[in-house]
Structure 1
Amino acid sequence: MGTRRGARGSWGPAGRDEGFGLVEIMISMFLLTILAVSFLPLLIDSLKTTVRNATIATATQLASEQLDAVALIPRTCAGLDAFESAALPTLTDERGNVFTPHRNASTCPTSGYPASIAVEVWVTVDSDPAIRVGSTTTVIIESAS
């Protein structure tokens, strides 16, 4: 019978090496490296998307705060003018993005109250001009002053 019990306790042909050699280990490491590098562009794109989404979420929150401020203004033309001319502070987040809020209101009528006025609020990001988050709402003006 041409088989005998080997040094590791398994049955097989006499003198056969068992286990992985250095060449097999190097080939498997090379293949794993190629696999890891192939996923790198996907990882980079997902990180860029995450940062952009966080920036848009912050801009959306600031625009929402501006809409909340619209709800608090007095329902007069004087209140609307004071709201539109008020200085708006910019905000800088932890990534260094500068968010600038903006407001624009239609002109108040001279008569014919109550009247509806469109008020637009939007937020821009200085580091990415393509991001502009905004909304328009309608305010009912009850009197001139």
Structure 2
Amino acid sequence: MIDRRTDRTLSGQTGFGLIEIVVAMFLLALLAVAFLPFLVRGITQSSVNSTLAAATALVNREMENARAQTTCSALTATTYSVPDARGVTLQVTRTVGAACPASLSSYPLTVPVGVTVARTDTGGVVSSATTLIFVTTF
């Protein structure tokens, strides 16, 4: 004999219907739209951080180049442009704050040096630093 109670419970549980699937997809779409601004902001911040890291590395490299000079005449002001990994062109400017004295009795002394890295497309300064460089002779 066939148990009719078992047939009715099995036939009533056929799985998800189309309405349930549409409602679930709608809820997932709402969640995705809610998180979209966070994703866009994260990508934008990541690109800004990439440019900042490249600019900071350029400032550090120029400072090390300036510290490697031991004579006052070797410290010169320079300006050049470099593209970073994303293709943003950065302008590196090294300035020397004081003229070298001609008198040898003035040495040793410290010379102020500043390095600035700016974006060429916006003109905004991304990174900068100043220091005093110890020089022993002209």
Normalising by the smaller structure, the TM-score range is 0.7 to 0.9
Contact 1:56 1:131 (8 Å CA) reproduced:
no
**Corresponding position of 2:135:** 141
Give the number of aligned pairs.
133
Partner Cα distance (1:66, 1:15) in 2: 78
Q: Verify: 1:129 aligned to 2:130, yes or no.
A: no
Partner Cα distance (2:121, 2:6) in 1: 72
Partner Cα distance (1:46, 1:30) in 2: 25
- Sequence identity (%): 28
Partner Cα distance (2:68, 2:29) in 1: 59
Contact 1:123 1:133 (8 Å CA) reproduced:
yes
State which of 78, 94, 113 in structure 2 corresponds to 1:103: 94
C-alpha displacement at 1:6, in angstroms?
Answer: 2.6
User: TM-score if structure 1 supplies the norm length?
Assistant: 0.79
What is the 5 A alignment of 1:1-145?
Answer: 4-6=5-7, 12=9, 16-76=12-72, 78-80=73-75, 83-84=76-77, 86=78, 88-108=79-99, 110=101, 111=103, 112-143=106-137, 145=138
User: TM-score if structure 2 supplies the norm length?
Assistant: 0.83
Partner Cα distance (2:96, 2:134) in 1: 12
RMSD, aligned CA: 2.3
C-alpha displacement at 1:116, in angstroms?
Answer: 1.3
Partner Cα distance (1:15, 1:94) in 2: 62
SS class of match (1:127): coil
C-alpha displacement at 1:17, in angstroms?
Answer: 4.3
SS class of match (2:5): strand
Partner Cα distance (1:105, 1:24) in 2: 71
Partner Cα distance (1:16, 1:132) in 2: 66
Runs (5+) with no aligned partner, structure 1 = none
